[in-house]
Amino acid sequence: AQSVTQLDSQVPVFEEAPVELRCNYSSSVSVYLFWYVQYPNQGLQLLLKYLSGSTLVKGINGFEAEFNKSQTSFHLRKPSVHISDTAEYFCAVSTGTASKLTFGTGTRLQVTL
Amino acid sequence: NAGVMQNPRHLVRRRGQEARLRCSPMKGHSHVYWYRQLPEEGLKFMVYLQKENIIDESGMPKERFSAEFPKEGPSILRIQQVVRGDSAAYFCASSPPSTANYGYTFGSGTRLTVV
């Protein structure tokens, strides 16, 4: 079985500053990795995903993430955040033989002026 | 092309009543997934269905919960005799068969409140 750990429950950051949201996973098999964003009272929107190939993945809204197999990490980064990036961010993992996603508990990104 | 449609958006039920949550997948998507999000927690997988088939229900509580995805019409998540602990946001997602492992599209959720 796989699991996902998002160590930071909340990350406060000033507008235009860089941000990194951490995600570590554990799995005994190869995984697919995802980041989703949830705005208040809305569903989840896919930001980006790693399936195979280049370990640096670019997503929507200027976000990117890097898959690090040796450290079993998939941290999300953005060089300059905007107020509108304030939301809950979820890291998720699935394996090649299962369609269900295992989610982390989420990181609340709070961007202020 | 409409996204994944869930209704109602908000549902209030008294303890002991039944709750029915509906999910219409995106056009062309034949796989449906239900997840539950308890307050301050991440999403937990409940069930994975294809048309007229339950593929994986390993996350469904053993009692009171059931799900179906008929040949025609939306997928239904049914909760019988609701209790306060069932209060949560329930999200549906869908995917086409060829990309079931590659992430899917979520609806906006149904927020169930049991009073």
**Would you give per-residue pLDDT tens digits along chain A (113 residues)?**
789 999 999 999 999 999 999 999 998 788 899 999 999 878 889 999 998 889 999 999 999 999 999 999 999 999 999 999 999 999 999 876 667 899 999 999 999 99
At position B75, the amino acid (one-letter code) is S
Helix, strand, or coil (residue B77): strand
Cα three-residue angle B80-B59-A93, rounded to 5 degrees: 145
Weakest-pLDDT range from B2-11, B36-45, B62-71, B93-102: B93-102
Residue B67 tokens read as 């799900």
Does A51 contact B at CB distance below 8 Å?
yes
Determine how many CB atoms are found less than 10 A away from the CB of residue A37: 21
A40 and chain B in contact, CB less than 8 A: no
The type of residue at B59 is: G
AA identity, residue A12: P
Radius of gyration of chain A (CA): 13
Q: Rounded CA gap, B75 and B33, in Å?
A: 9
Chain B residue nearest residue A93, CA to CA: B103
